[in-house]
Amino acid sequence: MKNYAIIHKQALIHGLKAVLNACAILLLIPFIVSCNNDIVEGGAKPSVHVAFAGGGWRAHTGHSGWVISLLQENDHKLDSAFSQVEVISSNSGGSWFSTMLMYSDTFANAIQAPNALMVWDSSGWLGKQKVLFDNNTSYSDLFSDLGSCLEAVFNSTPDCSLNWKDFVYDFIYKGYRLAPGTTLSSNHLDWAADKPLLLAATMLTDNVVVNTKGEFADQRYYQACLFQKPSLDIHNGGKCSSDTLKQVIPVVFSSIPQSQSYKAIPFLPSLHSDTLYLGYTASNYLESATKAYNHVLDTLDYSEVDVMTAAATSSAALGFLGSESVAADVTINLGPIHIPTSLISWFVSGGLQDEALSFQLFANKVKFLDAEQREKMGADPLANTKVVRLADGGPVDNTGVAQLVSSLQANGKDEGFDIVAFDNVTTSFNPGPNGAQVGGDIAYLFGKNLPFCADISAVEICIDVPDLQIFKLKALTHTPHTWKAYNEQTGDTSQKLIYTKYTVETVDNNNFGIEGGKTGTLHSFSCIWPGASTAPASDDDFDQYSKMLQFINRALKANDKEGLNYLQSALHPTE
């Protein structure tokens, strides 16, 4: 999700719909680099950089709507629509979309088909997802009411876990599976053969269980801190001596084509040349606890991580619930009954710990560690091999944008940029009388902090997160919209597309390694569709996705393709 909330994601699920928002907004961002840097002798066109933001099924469907509309104006060819795109960035549901688009022939061919818009909700990706959910009602039941699982803590630990990685492999990529052995170092499809890809995620840093489920006396917890060793005060929460890190820290997987000299940013962008301390302690239930400290450097190699695993990590919104510290903040409203924190911790860490994917950061390698391997290792080997837990790309789904800005700065392409952001949300944020309505995730880019806590049934979950602001606030509050289109077919003015062109300036943000004072343009294309949840729980949700998909295309083409012309200009700035 980025202050940084873990599960803002629009309202964390009308059940779980918005915890899967740790996917919640779609943000397609083209970044246009300064002509002084990119136009070379011979008339080369300036580069554009694109970011697909999160939002689960809503994001994937929305991105499909934007891209299908673009393809209709570009001979149904990805290499034409993205001819000036240099780098692609994404998080959460946007990472499902970007990896399918760049690695799956089946998906790329389907979205380029002339009839893609007509069949997308039947024989296309969205239609196939509906069939899968219709045939597996247990998943839609889980998505519709995660809160009931949490309230069942009084009983034996309920089976609420999803095994997120397997779910993403077997559901999201069903029919579009990447070839076996497709890693971040593998070749992209021809249309994207020279385009680097960034997949945003986060590392949980505060008192997260790293070993087997439910074995109280053998549990280990860790705390991550920059510059100094953590206190490992297991009964009051591990603390850093400064507030440099909160309960999550941004991380990023990069896939850089071998033919490119493009520089990958560190796996932990906030470090650059610094050191992260991981502190492990034995048991949260025993007073005497052995302590161990490990260093994590910024020279981590993640090139052999499976692409679908990286995408699953980028979208693991439920993983935030595996944090013991999150559990400690949970309040269950059941009258005078008080639930001990230790019991909540046991339930959450045991029932949901596998939704945050485990990785080893050993010998400068980032290696996925599945639940079966982890449970066989025991606490000491897990600590010694620096096992950490990674979850969703960002509590509010704009971290793909921030990682892209960091990446451009690392490659000297941070002046005169143009960013096009497609923000796909259920409600718009109003910054005041002089500013245009935008999605909440766009507002966070400017430091406009919205409420972060999320209610899941009777349970309220909050998390303390780093600052996510990367642009100065004034542009948000003093720029009117450029173009707006309502749903004329239904007359519902809450369903709309909004385009706003901002002149922006970056601010210092150590969490993403971003330097302030760099200027450029942000083109914000927001799709506001109140009925489109982040995760489907019924046929009604799929019906809303279908209507949103068609609306994006229809609204862009209205009034002599006014909206589509703005979008085309952003992706092809010299045309």
| Average confidence (pLDDT) over 359-380 | 85
Give kind and range of the element (H or E) at residue 365. Answer: strand 365-369
Q: Which of 128-132, 452-456, 517-521 has the highest mean pLDDT?
A: 128-132
Q: Is the pLDDT of residue 22 over 90?
A: no
Q: For 310-324, what is each residue's pLDDT tens digit?
A: 999 999 987 776 655
- Predicted TM-score (pTM) of the model is 0.86
Percent of the chain whose predicted confidence (pLDDT) is above 70: 69
pLDDT (tens digit, 9 = 90+) per residue, 490-512? 899 999 999 999 999 999 998 88
Contacts of 86 (CB under 8 A, 6+ apart): 33, 47, 48, 49, 195, 196
The per-residue pLDDT for 384 is 82
pLDDT of residue 101: 97
Mean pLDDT over 450-458 rounds to 53
Whether residue 118 has pLDDT greater than 70: yes
570 CB-near residues (< 8 Å, 6+ apart):
30, 32, 48, 418, 420, 523
Model confidence at 547: pLDDT above 90: yes
* Helix/strand/coil for 139: helix
Q: Give the alpha-carbon dihedral of 162, 168, 174, 180, to 10 degrees.
A: -120
Q: Flag whether pLDDT at 282 surpasses 80.
A: no
Residue 147: pLDDT above 80?
no
Q: Output helix, strand, coil percentages for the chain, rounded to the nearest 5.
A: 35, 20, 45
* Residue 228, amino acid: Q
Helix (H, G, I), strand (E, B) or coil at 457: coil
Split at pLDDT 50, 70, 90, the class of 343 is very low
Residue-wise pLDDT for 161-196, tens only, equals 678 898 899 999 999 989 889 999 999 999 999 999
**Domain boundaries defined on the chain:** 35-66+82-176+394-535+556-571, 199-391
The token duo for 445 is: 């880019």
Q: CA–CA distance from 225 to each of 20, 313, 339, 349, 514 (Å)?
A: 27, 22, 30, 22, 19
Q: Which helix (H) or strand (E) holds 351?
A: helix 341-352
Range in 7-11, 117-121, 356-360 the model is least confident about = 7-11
Q: What does the DSSP assignment read for 212-240?
A: -SS-GGG--EEEEEESS-----TTT----
Distance CA 23, CA 247 (A): 18
The residue with tokens 């609204």 is: 555
